[in-house]
Amino acid sequence: MKPLPISGYQQFADYAQAQGWSLSDDQQQRIADLAQWLTERAPPLGLSKYADLPSVLSYAMAPALVISDLIEPSEVRRVVDLGAGSGALGLTLSIIQSGWEVTLMDRSSNTATFLEWTVQWLGVENVTVRHEDAAAAATGGVARYDLVCLRAVASAQQALQLAGPLAGPGGYVVAWHQAEDEGFCSPQSPLPYTATTPTVVPGLVASLYRPQIMS
């Protein structure tokens, strides 16, 4: 069995540094708190298959760090993690970029309750939880976001159709997916595909889309 890409907090911090994120002592402590919480609380609720700390750091949290390969963080303020699940993606982003306003959106009331507990326990002030179906949000006049993030939400076609309407003018969509899933990079995608970058997890990549600005 291959060793996990990241086995502890210092390796996570080193990888973050390599991706352009210089984490303060407070940020590193919040990363540690989130990782411990997700390790202990998410698997029993069926919100994560990662039940040990290295797996949570490597597979659930570290992939978020490649966002710096795809966008300029200063261009973003409002972010939504679509189908947030355990919240690992959106919460990691909220910690490494504290100036972002991050919304965790999920259609499951139980998941939303777990996310609210998590946000409260972590004491992060730049995160809100929205119990709402993405399809309803996309057609319901919900405020648009500078960055829409998603991972394991649905098939490529469906996921991108849900994400596109939530991106505001000039906004971005980033999807984390398996590299062999051509649906996320095909010309048939409902959003214009821009770029792809690998993550620390073998076979897992992040792809960027830029909704067309209507004149």
Q: Is 75 exposed, middle or buried (0-12, 13-18, 19+ CB in 10 A)?
A: exposed
Q: Do 93 and 64 form a contact (C-beta atoms < 8 A)?
A: yes
> Would you state the pLDDT for residue 141?
61
> Would you state the pLDDT for residue 170?
85
Pick from 66-80, 100-114, 178-192: least confident = 178-192
Treating both helix axes as pointing N-terminal to C-terminal, what angle do 25-41 and 9-18 enclose, rounded to 10 degrees?
A: 120
Say which amino acid occupies 38.
Answer: L
3-state helix/strand/coil string of the chain = CCCCCCCCHHHHHHHHHHCCCCCCHHHHHHHHHHHHHHHHHCHHHCCCCCCCHHHHHHHHHHHHHHHHHHCCHHHCCEEEEECCCCCHHHHHHHHHCCCCEEEEEECCHHHHHHHHHHHHHHCCCCEEEEECCHHHHHHCCCCCEEEEEEECCCCHHHHHHHHHHHEEEEEEEEEEEECCCHHHCCCCCCCCEEEEEECCCCCEEEEEECCCCCC
> Would you state the pLDDT for residue 215?
39
Pick from 30-44, 52-66, 105-119, 133-147: least confident = 133-147
Average of pLDDT values for 140-162? Answer: 84
Residue 46 backbone phi and psi in degrees, to 5: 75, 20
Average of pLDDT values for 82-100? Answer: 96
**Domain at 63-209: CATH code:** 3.40.50.150
Mean pLDDT of the chain: 91
d(Cα 170, Cα 95) in Å, to the nearest integer? 24
> Would you state the pLDDT for residue 142?
63
Q: How confident is the model at residue 214 (pLDDT cuts 50, 70, 90)?
A: very low
Q: Assess whether pLDDT exceeds 60 at residue 1.
A: no
Q: What is the pTM of this model?
A: 0.93
> Would you state the pLDDT for residue 140?
65
Q: What is the pLDDT of residues 53-86, one digit of tens each?
A: 999 999 999 999 999 999 999 999 999 999 999 9
Percent of the chain scoring above 90 in pLDDT:
74
